[in-house]
Amino acid sequence: MAPTLNSLVLRPGAEWDSAWRRCLVLAPEAFRDDRVLNLWNGAWHADGRPLPAVTPVDGTPIAGPPRLDASAAHRAVRAALDQHRAWREVPLADRRARVAAALDALDEHRELLSLLLVWEIGKPWRLAQADVDRAIDGVRWYVDGIDGMLAGRGPLAGPVSNIASWNYPMSVLVHAMLVQALAGNAVVAKTPTDGGLACLTLACALIHREGVPVTLVSGSGGELSEALVRAPEIGCVSFVGGRDAGARVATAVADLGKRHVLEQEGLNTWGIWNFTDWDAFAPQIRKTFDYAKQRCTAYPRFVVQRSAFAEFLAHYLPAVRAVRFGHPLAIDWPADDLPELDFGPLINAAKAKELTDQVAEAIDRGAVPLHQGSLSEGRFLPGQDRSAYVPPVTLLNPPPSSPLHHSEPFGPVDTIVLVDTEAELLAAMNASNGALVATLSCDDPATYERLAPQIRAFKVGHGRPRSRGDRQELFGGFGASWRGAFVGGELLVRAVTVGPSGDERLPGNFPEYHLMP
């Protein structure tokens, strides 16, 4: 059917089937006609039970994870220890050359890796490319400076086990894996259950070809945790995810005294206090909706001085109404560029329904809806499945009984809390017992300097959002949002290596101490 101005079409050549066929040609050792393989003991294995899966973009069936059982995972971890013992003896110059070659391969195929991210986790094209590029550019920074970071340090006793969420497969997970390997460790990773399987499989195939020791397996977190967390072969556990799963991992690593890096969620807040520079504030609002706030450094809570509320709304609401969402690959005409969207779908239809139900329940219990977008405002193909999409929503004063009052929604839902005193401001900004980032907008620098240290977030911005950061920027969390060693810059290398004494106190949140860098 010929497209019309009222009928969007899927970008030719960007179909899931096209991307899948390209994977089969590029990495036949890792992909079969109807499934992906697990990578362990230096080889690809057609083991595990593949589960059905669909893309959140439009419900199209895609490859699902080939889930291993616990015994197979233990075999993979034991094999990774053998790889680790060999890899740690490889000279640093050789390790650097292999990791650099892997980066060149990833860069060569960045367009396909990005397209896979669009289909598997629903990232708009711009953000999918940024995820891939940040992984490549970030690791190159470590390749260039690794000599100084490793001075007097050596690899761990066993491989690093990585269990990460689905939202940043490249710039968080692959980035960490390659730095861990560069530092002399073999690497084990579990594919996220909810998405990123094909992208990670292709990335690991390219990395494995260069002789870097990576293991990539799929499976239930509960079933594989005994091998990936508690196994004596594992030298360090790196986890990114929610607090419930993180607490279980934290208990296990604390019992075993195992090195760990556990990044968990927190309710990141943006405070408005004695503030008047609204022209600087307004352009930043729309950016906070990137990827539907499905990231660890999203800002879903605004804590606003009551006397400034009218001015806040005058600038906030137009920005939210300008947010663009929909099918990331839908265009008006076949030759058009891909659309500049703020977000696509949530990770799956179940999450979309959960969040929609939470919004409805909060309103029923007294929250005031200030903005409720409609799916009719989105860009969609005719007749496509839209069950994973949620339009932007803004609620005033969610009730304490609602999860939206104290937890990160991981979706395009903002909540606003009004306060009258500094004490109320700080209490509302610290509602989740620790966060990764926060921002305070106030005109007086002295007021910011006085209040910012009382906000329990690892990074606090003055009138601008903070992010995870790249290269030398450190990253961590306060309270329940982080356990174990902090990362970023040289700290990421220190987290997965040992110093001369072997008993150093790493910066981080540990059961026996808290040490800021």
- The CATH number that applies at residue 121 is 3.40.605.10
Q: Which residues of 240-272 are buried (b: 16+ CB within 10 A; e: fewer)?
A: bbebebbeebbebbeeeebbbbbbbbbbbbbbb
Residue at 9 is within a domain:
no
pLDDT tens per residue, the chain (517 residues)?
Answer: 344 456 899 999 999 999 999 999 999 999 999 899 999 999 999 999 999 999 999 999 999 999 999 999 999 999 999 999 999 999 999 999 999 999 999 999 999 999 999 999 999 999 999 999 999 999 999 999 999 999 999 999 999 999 999 999 999 999 999 999 999 999 999 999 999 999 999 999 999 999 999 999 999 988 999 999 999 999 999 999 888 888 888 888 877 888 999 999 899 999 999 999 999 999 999 999 999 999 999 999 999 999 999 999 999 999 999 999 999 999 999 999 999 999 999 999 999 999 999 999 999 999 999 999 999 999 999 999 999 999 999 999 999 999 999 889 999 999 999 999 999 999 999 999 999 999 999 999 999 999 999 999 999 999 999 999 888 999 999 999 999 999 999 999 999 999 987 678 999 998 889 999 9
Indicate whether 508 and 378 sit together in one domain.
Answer: no
Domain span at residue 312 reads: 269-462
Residues 260 and 301 placed together within one structural domain of the fold:
no
Angstrom CA distances, 124 to 107, 119, 130, 278, 396, stand at 19, 9, 10, 28, 28
pLDDT at res. 254: 76
Q: Are residues 152 and 218 in the same domain?
A: yes
In a domain, residue 1? The reply is: no
How many degrees, rounded to 5, is the angle at CA 93 between CA 89 and CA 97?
Answer: 110
Residue 468 forms part of a structural domain: no
Residue 1's pLDDT is what? 38
C-beta separation of 219 from 67 below 8 A:
yes
Task: Give a yes or no: residue 110 inside a domain.
Answer: yes
Q: What angle do CA 284, 287, 289 make, to 5 degrees?
A: 130
- Shared domain for 289 and 423, answered yes or no, is yes
Say how many CA atoms lie within 13 Å of 502 toward its Cβ. Answer: 3
Q: What is the pLDDT of residue 247?
A: 81
- Check residue 6 and give its pLDDT: 61
Q: Are residues 456 and 389 in the same domain?
A: yes
Number of structural domains found in the chain: 2
Counting Cβ atoms within 10 Å, is residue 34 exposed (0-12), middle (13-18) or buried (19+)?
Answer: exposed
Residues 446 and 489 in one domain: no
Same domain, 198 and 247: yes
The answer on 307 and 214 residing in a single domain is: no
Q: Strand pairing of 43-45 and 435-441?
A: unpaired
For residue 293, being part of any structural domain is answered with yes
CA–centroid distance for 196 within its chain: 11
CA distance between the termini of the chain: 60
Distance CA 371, CA 392 (A): 8
* Residue 345, domain CATH: 3.40.309.10
Same domain, 510 and 443: no
Do both 457 and 509 map to the same domain? no
Output the pTM of the full model: 0.96
Question: Is residue 73 in a domain?
Answer: no
Q: Do 286 and 426 sit in the same domain of this protein?
A: yes
pLDDT value at residue 256: 80
319 in any annotated domain: yes
Cite the DSSP H helix spans in 348-392. 349-364
- Report pLDDT for 137: 97
**Per-residue model confidence (pLDDT) at position 503:** 75
For position 4, what pLDDT does the model report?
Answer: 45
Whether 497 is in a domain gets the answer: yes
Same domain, 108 and 197: yes
Strand pairing class (482-485; 330-331): unpaired
pLDDT reported for residue 214: 98
